[in-house]
Structure 1
């Protein structure tokens, strides 16, 4: 949502002064609000029974509640109109009729992304904001080229987001050519846009950010970016039509800092066109057709802070060039053929905060090269050959907040070596050989917020350790050996927002009764258990629940739907349906 007070008018703006004391449509002075609002009880505040809302909050709430009574908000201060609109959008109460009340309100931010019902007729009211409009997001809407033509009335718009707008084509893009104040444009997955339509971008001389992710027909269109020297960020991820030839126009974009091009058909030759990009700080080449030769070019990007080379089929060849990228904070080498030999060249990257070695041929010996990376916060070692001895090298990484050890050779005994990582918040132990004993070794990690024990052989006895993890927000304990007795040790983890207990086939309706006090839960999965329709009543207190999965249980779709309609209005995803 656009911030209501993010861009205030000048205090000496005479028109705003008149608006403050003016009339709101036919409803008289805005003072009417004061006579219809409930008073906040002083006694209630003293008893601590909730925060007393501000007068402004009450005004906004009342306006939204009675929205059908008002024909126009154009005489209200802009910030008030903005907050009313934002609240209506947030509560999904904005309609064709109520939108009309915001005509000529001089709004600055209209964010209707993924809002149902947005179409060409809405653009008439949106365009009435005129030169005041600075930011517009109508992603996933039914707006067509005919509706987009109205945007030309908003000549000061700076941010325009039209992601997943299937009805906007090259003809619609033509209407953007006069919007020279645009600094950010996003057209994710717009399959109707081609290289021809991209000619409209050539006049957007102030463009800083351009997002064309998943636009599959733009081959040859990047030539229109050649003169956009202010461009700092370009996203062409998953544009598999992009080849080396498309890269040449980018060679003159001297201010380019962020380039996202996952899964493009670009090779080392295409990367060579970026040789002069001295300001490049973010580079994503995941899944591109590069080889070891690309390291020679990448080594020249001395400002590089984030580098993603995942799924490029790279080996240890050329990895020595990484040693000079001393500003690197994030390095993703996952799903490559690199070994411990590559890690020798990473040990001096002392500013690294995140390192991804997922599915690489890394062993315990290689982890020795990581012990000096004292700034490391996130480490991905899933599906590697790391075992018990390797964790010893990580024991001094006190800033480590997240580590993934799933599908490794780690055992119960080695987990004790993690007990000193007091900053650890997220731990993934999707490892079959982890048992109750391993969890017992982690009780010092009281700051854990995420714990994934999918597939671990945890019993009721092991769940006794959960009482130490009071900060847990996410717990996945799938495929274990726990019963209702073990869930008793989970029922007091009141910070939990995600709980996955699927594949524990001995859980019964008693489990739902035990967790009925976990009112912060947003996602719950107890699939493949002995839950029945009778147990669904215990879920009624979980008003924040948005996702519920009880597949392969003795529950019916009818009863699940009834629970959703009667007790859980926020529930969006339900299984079985």
Structure 2
């Protein structure tokens, strides 16, 4: 299934994809960042008026001190909250160095958030650990800190949250330094291959732990037995730990407070899932890419609290899937990339609280979608008719006509759904996100979506869709994300897109647009992402129109006729972080000059 001329993506919002593509790792901090709101390195804007807010006197002082940091030897005499704000501003503005860090020794800071910050190593740890019992949160993810650097952290015995993600120089010995942290509630050790089952014994004393993240820690097989005494543990992430087997699931049966469990890409089978039977508080279970079948649902049938279940890319078939009907509290169900057909949808009819359903790349066709249809409008019509005939008939409000009227997100990408199937979706009036990429729908079927006025995200990455199809959707004014990557859209079609005034993400590729078409979208002032690649007739005039989209963060005009001359129009796009102009007349040197002279915030740009 699918179209070779396009690209297949995971079902995530375009805004999330924008952030992933254009923001470097140092901005992806996993620790507390509540202080970012006071930083003067970010423009403070009144959303209603669109005007900048005047900074407070304190903010001005913090900014001034940070600008002149080399004049100060210590901040230990200042009140702690002032020192904290100065520290945060230095981190946010990337001015903090090992030398400047010395000024914060013994300042009793509560939050040290240096996740992905450049240059952090053992030399920084003396000052970090000098905060002693005042330190509550610490994030040194992505640093070069070693076991030796962690030795003194034992003095920070009140710490509540500690992030050591991507710290590949920390091993079992380093974990021993935190073994006595009885107040620790959050611990994250993502992507650490040096931690072994033996080292996991250091976690057994963390009796207050609520959240533990061991994602991609590939040497922990057999170590989960040390978690048996963590009776307060509510969230455990061991995603992508392919060493985890059924035997590792047995110790988890004692963790009766567990609410979230992620074991994707492990070797856990139906037998391992059986150990989870008594975890009645479990609300989220992620088993993507696990070799499980529908037989595992027997172990989950009594989990009345289960709201989120991901069994995508597993070994599910139609056989046994009737057991899904027992999971009546489910709100989110991901069945993508399984060998299941329309027959399974018949068993989902009773899941009345379902808000999100993913059927990506399953053997789903038009006939199966009848089971998702929302017949509540029929019910209302019958009540109206009954009143007209003096109530000769009485209908139970819980009759079979009530369908999936809570459904907000539906993924049908890479299925055999066509125009007939879309008729069954017309009653899903609360639907906010719909993915129909790589299906067999045509323009004629899109009129069935006209009633979905709550739609915010619509993926029509389908080569059969043309301008005529967009005309039928002109009334969906709430749409913020529109993907027409592979559709055959011309300048005529962009006239209908002008109605989508709330658009934040728009992709139209494939060669049908000219400058006249770009002119039709220049008034979409909310656009954050714009992808117009492979439209070979676009010229510098298009860049002039695009320059009016001041909120743009990501722009792609590759495979077009734009030139170095047109780059002058982009100097006004001060929020731009990603720019792609491959296969154009623009050279790497041209973009480099633009970056250095006018767009310093550009993180990624092509040609490089």
Separation of aligned partners in 1, 2:175 and 2:159: 15
Is the CA contact (8 Å cut-off) linking 2:294 and 2:323 kept in structure 1?
Answer: no
Q: Is the 8 A contact 2:525 2:548 kept in 1?
A: yes
Match of 2:286 among 284, 288, 310: 284
> Which residue of structure 1 aligns with residue 541 of structure 2?
510
Equivalent residue, structure 1, for 2:415: 384
Cα deviation per residue 1:48-82 (whole Å; 9 max; x = unaligned)?
96322222221222121222221222222222222
Equivalence map 1:127-146=2 (5 Å)? 127-146=129-148
Taking the aligned partners of 2:81 and 2:459, their CA distance within structure 1 comes to 45
Aligned to 1:205: 207
Q: d(CA) in 1 for partners of 2:32 and 2:287?
A: 32
Alignment partner of 1:375 out of 384, 406, 412: 406
Matches of 2:90 and 2:102 in 1, distance apart?
13
Relative to the length of structure 1, the TM-score reads: 0.91
Contact 2:511–2:537 at 8 Å: present in 1 too?
no
Matched, 1:454 2:456: no
Q: Distance in 2 between matches of 1:220 and 1:158?
A: 26
Where do 1:553-572 residues align within 5 Å?
A: 553-572=584-603
Partner of 2:394: none
- The Cα offsets for residues 162-190 of structure 1, whole Å up to 9 and x where unpaired, read as 00011111111111111111111100001
> Aligned partners of 2:179, 2:50: CA distance in 1, in Å?
56
Structure 1 segment 402-413 matched on structure 2, within 5 A = 402-413=433-444
User: 1:400 aligned to 2:431?
Assistant: yes
Q: How much has 1:4 moved relative to structure 2?
A: 6.3
SS at match of 1:136: strand
Which one of the candidate residues 399, 414, 420 is aligned to 2:445? 414
Q: 1:11 matched to which residue of 2?
A: none
- Aligned partner of residue 451 in structure 1, secondary structure: strand
Structure 1 CA distance for aligned equivalents of residues 190 and 369 of structure 2? 39
Aligned to 2:79: 77
User: What residue number does 1:463 align with?
Assistant: 494
Q: 2:104 aligns with which of 102, 105, 115?
A: 102
Alpha-carbon separation, structure 2, partners of 1:555 and 1:363: 45
Counterpart Cα distance in 1 of 2:334 and 2:33: 34
What is the match of residue 261 of structure 2? 259
Equivalent residue number for residue 560 of structure 2: 529
> Contact between 2:72 and 2:103, CA under 8 Å: does it hold in 1?
yes
2:227 to 225, 228, 233: 225
1:62 to 42, 59, 64: 64
Instruction: Give the Å deviation of 1:5.
Output: 7.6
The superposition leaves residues 201-246 of structure 1 with CA deviations (integer Å, 9 ceiling, x where unpaired) of 1111111111000011111111111111111111000000111111
Give the secondary-structure state (helix, strand or coil) at the position aligned to 2:265: coil
Deviation (angstroms), 1:313: 2.3
Aligned to 1:551: 582
Asked if the contact 1:455/1:480 (under 8 Å) is kept, the reply is: no
Partner of 2:240: 238
CA contact (8 A) 1:81 1:105 kept: yes
Q: Distance in 1 between matches of 2:35 and 2:592?
A: 40
Distance 1:453 1:2 in 2: 37
Any unmatched runs of 5+ in structure 2?
1-30, 41-48, 374-402
Query: Counterparts of 2:575 and 2:551 in 1: how far apart (Å)?
Result: 6
Equivalent in the alignment of 1:34? none
Residue number among 121, 131, 143 corresponding to 1:119 in the alignment: 121
**1:295 alignment counterpart:** 297
Name the counterpart of 2:515. 484
Measured after TM superposition, the shift of residue 510 of structure 1 is 1.4
**Corresponding residue for 1:174?**
176
The SS at the match of 1:517 is coil
User: 1:339-364 CA distances to partner (integer Å, 9 max, x unpaired)?
Assistant: 11111111111111111000111111
Looking at both structures, which has the greater relative contact order when contacts are Cα pairs under 8 Å and sequence separation is at least 6? 2
Rounded to whole Å, the distance in 1 between the matches of 2:331 and 2:530 is: 32
Q: Is the 8 A contact 1:543 1:568 kept in 2?
A: yes
**Which stretch of structure 1 is more off in the superposition, 53-62 or 148-157?**
53-62
TM-score (norm 2): 0.86
Q: What is the distance in 2 between the residues matched to 1:60 and 1:423?
A: 44
CA contact (8 A) 1:456 1:480 kept: no
Answer yes or no: is 1:190 the counterpart of 2:189: no
Provide Cα deviations, 1:281-323, integer angstroms capped at 9, x if missing partner.
1001100011221121122222100000000121111211111
CA contact (8 A) 2:159 2:184 kept: yes
Task: Determine if contact 1:472/1:493 at 8 Å carries over to the other structure.
Answer: yes
Deviates most, 294-303 or 481-490: 294-303
- In structure 1, what is the Cα distance between the partners aligned to 2:35 and 2:210? 24
